[in-house]
Structure 1
Amino acid sequence: MKDSLLADPLFGTALTLGAYAASILVYRRVRWLHPLIGAPLIVYLALLLGDIEFDTYKIGGDLVSFFLGPATVAMAVPLYKHAMRLKHMLPSLLAGALIGSACGLLVNGACVLLFNGTGEFLRSALPKSVTAAVAVDLSAWLGGSPGLTAALTVLTGLFGSVTGPWLLRAVGVTDRVASSIAIGAASHGIGSARLMTESEEQGGLSGFAMAASAVFTPVLLLPVHAWLS
């Protein structure tokens, strides 16, 4: 009975959604435990205590991952709804995304070099600020480890989602448009999803910055690729 239940894709899906719903309830009382941190912890504990193999959970977990693509595309909807009001800001939005992408590459590279990271780690860490689907391909192109890049990308998104708004306010960035572009360029889809819960417009702007960064970053990496080759 247990084996047949675990083999059902609905098990992994239900566990993922249930963990996220539970983490939101916890977050309302424990503000420092963000749902994007709480949900994976709940899933991990469930698998550990239930002695369930990750591959078994992944059957249904992949179903949730499948909808990440449509969910990411859906971030363009609020941006479209506010398009006429934001049209005159397009040059500034593009400039912000470009500068954010460039700063992300510089900071990522500087941190690795500062701590004497290996060449493979450098190649893997450079693209970690763009969305995972693009970052993994860029890592392979640079000669890095796509698996390591995927992990670093997720951690970057989580960190930006949890601390990004607070850090921006701490350094004096209070403009909602500027903060949205900064989080989208640095924390991709996870950060954008956080902003979507606060403001439809901010979520759309962050999604725009995420998409623009996915275009700018490969171009900015062209000379880096030539240097590393």
Structure 2
Amino acid sequence: MREVINNSVYFGVAISLISYIIGLMVKKKFKYNILNPLLIAIIIVIVILTTFDIDYDTYNQGGEYINFLLTPATVCLAIPLYHQLDLLKKNFKAIMAGILAGSFSNLIGIFALSLMFKFTHEIYASLLPKSITTAIGLAVSGEIGGIPTITVVSISLTGISGNVIGESVCKLFRIKDPISVGLALGTASHAVGTARALELGEIEGAMSSLSIAVAGLITVVLAPIFANFLL
């Protein structure tokens, strides 16, 4: 059995898809935000790999095929934005200012926490791209001397957190405007947050989709600069 698993490139894909489907079923049945399908899938995969003592590299042979789909999936998020193009034109300056402020806040927050907890430069560089999509974040992390594995974990946790509590945080601070809500979710928690934004409404989803691309570009430019602040 182990030999079949070790030699099969489909094992990682199968486990990932089945785990996510289970997550969707649980979320649909109980309807709690904390029961995020991606979070449930991650937990199931970890339990399976740990229980059966399966190496991560063995699992990732098939997982790489899923990673390959990240970029086209991100590009597809431009569709809801296209439907709200007029709204974007009318509020262009405010939208760009909001995304820029959010991107700066993410980077400054990581810098402050790194100083507070005395992180090494490698850890600090790994966390800087935490709020952008994995496809861009991994490239940024590698360029500035980060550890890709830590970057993936930080991006995943950031996205899941935004998906789970993002709407509640907006309500707590009485942020009701759909443009503002969408920008907040997309800038802070990339594609996973955008999935939640799309559930809230078409405008929220469109603005969140825009935030992914713009925040990614801003972080690509600023992350190497911030990386030099802590050596």
Whether the TM-score (by the shorter chain) exceeds 0.5 is yes
Establish whether residue 45 from structure 1 lines up as the match of residue 32 from structure 2.
no
Contact 2:6-2:58 at 8 Å conserved across structures: yes
Mark the CA change 1:143 to 1:9 in structure 2 (over 3 Å): closer, same or farther.
closer
Establish whether residue 70 from structure 1 lines up as the match of residue 72 from structure 2.
yes
Tell me what 2:22 maps to. Answer: 22
Provide the C-alpha distance between the structure 1 equivalents of 2:115 and 2:109, rounded to a whole number of angstroms: 10
Mark the CA change 1:218 to 1:56 in structure 2 (over 3 Å): closer, same or farther.
closer
Tell me what 1:141 maps to. Answer: 143
Mark the CA change 1:171 to 1:203 in structure 2 (over 3 Å): closer, same or farther.
same
Output the amino acid matched with 2:76. A
Contact 1:78-1:203 at 8 Å conserved across structures: yes
Output the amino acid matched with 2:43. L
Tell me what 1:212 maps to. Answer: 214
Tell me what 2:9 maps to. Answer: 9
Contact 1:109-1:125 at 8 Å conserved across structures: no
Output the amino acid matched with 2:48. A
Indicate the RMSD between aligned Cα atoms, in angstroms: 2.4
Contact 1:157-1:191 at 8 Å conserved across structures: yes
The correspondence for 1:102, drawn from 104, 123, 137, is: 104
Tell me what 1:88 maps to. Answer: 90
Residues 111-130 of structure 1: pairs in structure 2 closer than 5 A: 111-130=113-132
Structure 1: runs of 5 or more not aligned? none
Residues 177-196 of structure 1: pairs in structure 2 closer than 5 A: 177-196=179-198
Contact 1:7-1:59 at 8 Å conserved across structures: no
Cα displacement (A) at 1:6: 6.1
Output the amino acid matched with 1:73. V
Deviation string 1:73-118 (CA, Å, 9 cap, x unpaired) is 1000111122133321222211111110011111111112122323
Structure 2: runs of 5 or more not aligned? none
Mark the CA change 1:160 to 1:7 in structure 2 (over 3 Å): closer, same or farther.
same
Mark the CA change 1:98 to 1:47 in structure 2 (over 3 Å): closer, same or farther.
same
Contact 1:121-1:144 at 8 Å conserved across structures: yes
Deviation string 1:141-191 (CA, Å, 9 cap, x unpaired) is 333333322322222122112111111211221222101101111111221
Secondary structure at the aligned position of 2:35 is classed as coil
Provide the C-alpha distance between the structure 2 equivalents of 1:227 and 1:54, rounded to a whole number of angstroms: 33
Secondary structure at the aligned position of 1:9 is classed as coil
Q: Percent identity?
A: 34
Output the amino acid matched with 1:44. I
Deviation string 1:34-89 (CA, Å, 9 cap, x unpaired) is 11211111222233344444333323222222212111110001111221333212
- The alignment of Structure 1 onto Structure 2 pairs a total of residues equal to 229
Tell me what 1:54 maps to. Answer: 56
Cα displacement (A) at 1:214: 1.2
Contact 2:71-2:135 at 8 Å conserved across structures: no
